[in-house]
Amino acid sequence: MTQPQSTDPNDYEVLIRRRGESDYASYCPQLAHMIKGQAHEEVENAMKAHVLAYIEALKHEAN
């Protein structure tokens, strides 16, 4: 599987699931990365930050 090369954050899906009252996980299929936490906002923000960091690394590699 090749790593995505898009620098557009909208090209990366963020899927969030809840199990029980305080067990959340976010998953980005394009990066095959999962983050677990105790709140919806926690896992959503953490995944968005991960995607943005990935994009910044792509931009850095391109220079």
Helix (H) or strand (E) holding 18: strand 15-18
Q: What angle do CA 25, 30, 35 make, to 5 degrees?
A: 20
Structural domains of the chain, with CATH: 9-62 (3.30.160)
Residue 55: predicted pLDDT: 98
Q: What residues pair up with 27 in beta bridges, in sequence order?
A: 15, 34
pLDDT, one tens digit per residue, over 3-17 is 899 999 999 999 999
User: CA-to-CA distance for 58 and 52, rounded, in angstroms?
Assistant: 10
Selection from 39, 47, 44 nearest residue 23 by Cα: 39
Average pLDDT, integer, range 35-56: 98
The answer, yes or no, to whether residue 1 has pLDDT greater than 90, is no
Cα of 7 vs its chain's centroid, Å: 13
